[in-house]
Amino acid sequence: MKALFFLLCTTFSSVLNAQDHFSTPFQQINNEVQSHSEAYGNLKTATETIGHRLTGSEHGAKAEAYAFNLLKSYGYDVRYQPFEVESWSRLSNETKVGDSPGSLKKITSVTLAHSPVKVQVTAELIDLGNGLESDYQQDGGKVKGKIALVYLGILPSSPEHTPQLHRSEKAAIATKYGAAGIIIINGVKGGVLLTGTASVTGKLIPIPAVCIGLENGMRLKAALRNKAQFASLNMTNFSGMIKARNVIATIRGNTLPEEKMVLGAHLDSWDLATGAIDNGIGAFAIIDMARTFKKLNLSTSRTLEFVLFMGEEQGLLGSKAYLAEARNNQTLDQLRFMLNYDMTNNPKGFSSSRKEMEALFTEWGAQITSLDTGFKNIFYAGAGLHSDHQPFLLEGIPTGGGAAAELPNQAGLYYHSNGDTFRLVDEQGLKNTVRFSAMLAYALANTPEIPVRRQSEEALKIFLQENDLETPLRIAGEWRW
């Protein structure tokens, strides 16, 4: 019996290996991208001629058209997926601090997205540390009617295993405990300012939220240990309905056309710089993957959609619109996998929300390693939030992408800041994202059987709890169980 079992397993393994051995197309993809990738040049042109890519702005519309025309030039039948949503942009902002309401002095700050349209608040500052729920509970309610001062990440003095929340979740907690405003301290030296949304829902929050530089923030924290400090937050912003467009190029599957693989990245960026890293490298990697498939005339069993989402920065607006269309068309079950590329650079392996993918991903990774030993075939299984994979994840759809990626030139320091410019981009790192990810996409689109499917509601609930996502989803109002 054992011998028969061994024989059956060996036979099955041999068949699987034969079915999933993609050495020839992987080699073709590798050679094409290494020799002819256009991602670096296209991104450089976009940053120089378009600038930022804020959703709903003239720049955003130019970026949509630029991506559309590039994909069309590669031979695709491209379509726009228009959507209309409430969006936000900053108009004016002034932040002042001091040891009395009558002696406030201006400090450099940037408004966080989805702050109120017009608000002026002057109140005492309360240091809430990391801005976690436990910090407010220890505060005993003193922050009510005052302005919370919180650190963006985790303070260096924090205990081990201190949880890290998104800035929007910290703003939601401040609102819950009655704060009149929130000032968030960026953790990067040199006065670097960070923008981004302060809303967990993508809609306006009731209190003003700003970010200040590390040095100013730590001076305020030190001053608060000796004497009361006050702040004034005075801002005007725009909020209203805007139009935007996802850009979609499709390769229709030849044997399993109703099974769809989504390769996605957000094209939009914030407006402080040109968004070269967040998310130029992801968006233009997707565009170059599409170019590579057309150039090599690669066919796929499953349908492959290359999707450039708009509105990610303002609340995952484009990916939510994509899922809303699928829901309306009753095609959610056709979505077999979503690969998301958000600030992905030079991945050393693959990740998936579903651990069941490890055998296939590492099988394909081993084939890639034979072409380039720089690819370490790392596999990571787990799930997080706050990028365009999230709406797919919350529908039970398997997600994944690159693992052990490395941002070039200390680019992480300039996340969402005025320093996110093209000088940070590394050409070979971008090529590596394109070639390794195109290989993964090809394999997923052609493997005879994908071992995971869309999760049931009960299975999804357990999965989210196992990945410690219930608390942030409750804060965001997206926990539906």
Residue ranges per domain, the chain? 23-86+241-475, 100-228
Q: Is the pLDDT of residue 16 over 80?
A: no
pLDDT digits 0-9 by tens, 339-365: 999 999 999 999 999 999 999 999 999
Going by pLDDT thresholds of 50, 70 and 90, the confidence category of residue 475 is confident
pLDDT confidence of residue 267? 98
Tokens read off for 265:
């990245």
Tokens read off for 415:
């996340």
Name residue 356's amino acid.
E
Mean pLDDT for the chain?
A: 94
Residues of the chain with pLDDT > 70, as a percent, come to: 96
pLDDT confidence of residue 220? 98
pLDDT confidence of residue 297? 98
> Closest Cα partner for 364 from 416, 403, 396?
403
Q: 23-86+241-475, which class in CATH?
A: alpha beta
pLDDT digits 0-9 by tens, 209-248: 999 999 999 999 999 999 999 999 999 999 999 999 999 9
- Mean pLDDT over residues 423-431, rounded? 98
Q: Is the pLDDT of residue 134 over 50?
A: yes
Phi then psi dihedrals of residue 108, to 5 deg: -70, 135
Helix axes 427-446, 281-295, angle to 10 degrees: 60
Residue 374, classed as helix, strand or coil, is coil
pLDDT confidence of residue 62? 98
pLDDT digits 0-9 by tens, 19-71: 578 999 999 999 999 999 999 999 999 999 999 999 999 999 999 999 999 99
Measured CA to CA in angstroms, residue 108 lies from 32, 95, 211, 229, 359 at distances of 47, 7, 9, 17, 51
Residues of the chain with pLDDT > 90, as a percent, come to: 92
DSSP string, 189-229: SSS-----B--SSSS--SS-EEEE-HHHHHHHHHHHTTS--
Q: Is the pLDDT of residue 17 over 50?
A: no
- pTM here is 0.87
pLDDT confidence of residue 19? 53
Please tell me the CATH code under which domain 100-228 is placed: 3.50.30.30
Going by pLDDT thresholds of 50, 70 and 90, the confidence category of residue 6 is very low
Going by pLDDT thresholds of 50, 70 and 90, the confidence category of residue 11 is very low
